[in-house]
Amino acid sequence: MIVNKKILFISVFILYSYLCFSQTEIKGIKPCVDSLIYNLNNSTKYKDINIRIIEEGVVFYDKYFVDTVKNDNISSLIEYIDIDSIKSYTIINNEHKCYLISSCIKQATGLAINFTTWIIIIPQYNCVYDFKSLSSNPKLIYFINNNLYFIRFNYGENLFWNEEWDKVDYEIEINEINIDSCNAKIIEHKNSYCN
């Protein structure tokens, strides 16, 4: 009897979640997230570049350069992104260059349609990082001195319990990548609200 009640509860919860969150785009959160990014003191240079996907990696190019990056991690990550929405950038500081790939999540449904998949490639050390964020703005990835930072925006825990669409809580996680050692760590984590 208890098992049947649990199964019934889980079934009702899944059905309710699907009905509430099916293809749900929360329009109010993107301006809040992007406004935080624009307030960063960021001197990183960003440039849109072209990308071609090859079997063993990617080719970045524009009219002045061509750079092929071969890495098994890139090939496996590309499988999960929507190729039609892919964008690519190069970011540069005084000593380092990185490539960024962004895209919607392939076949995303529900609240997942609001996320952008980011792939950071540091060709000098053949490092690859990936994360998902509520922002599609490339300025959430930036240099300070020789370290690379990225900000991951996610929904907060209260969103799923409150259903207050005019006051959405979200998590901000700032990560630091030491380029010379290719190590990443979380340096700050906090919650905030978007009104």
Is there a domain that residue 14 lies in?
no
Taking only the tens place, the pLDDT of each residue in 67-113 is 999 988 888 888 888 888 899 999 988 888 899 999 988 877 777 77
> Looking at residue 162, what is its pLDDT?
67
Taking only the tens place, the pLDDT of each residue in 6-61 is 454 444 344 344 434 444 555 556 677 777 777 776 778 899 999 998 888 899 99
> Looking at residue 102, what is its pLDDT?
93
* Mean pLDDT comparison of 15-19, 116-120, 141-145, highest-scoring range: 116-120
Is there a domain that residue 75 lies in?
yes
Contact in structure between 58 and 162 (CB atoms under 8 Å): no
pTM metric for this prediction: 0.79
pLDDT band at 175 (very low <50, low <70, confident <90, very high): very high
Overall domain count for the chain:
1
Q: CA distances (Å), 78 to each of 18, 19, 97, 102, in order? A: 27, 30, 21, 10
Instruction: Kindly report which listed range (60-74, 88-102, 132-146, 151-165) carries the lowest average pLDDT score.
Output: 151-165
Closest to 113 (Cα-Cα) out of 17, 23, 18, 15: 23
Q: How many Cβ atoms are within 10 Å of 62's Cβ, its own excluded? A: 12
User: CA-CA distance, 11 to 19, in Å (whole number)?
Assistant: 12
> Looking at residue 17, what is its pLDDT?
44
End-to-end CA distance of the chain: 44
> Looking at residue 37, what is its pLDDT?
76
Instruction: Provide the residue range defining the domain that includes 172.
Output: 26-194
Is there a domain that residue 50 lies in?
yes
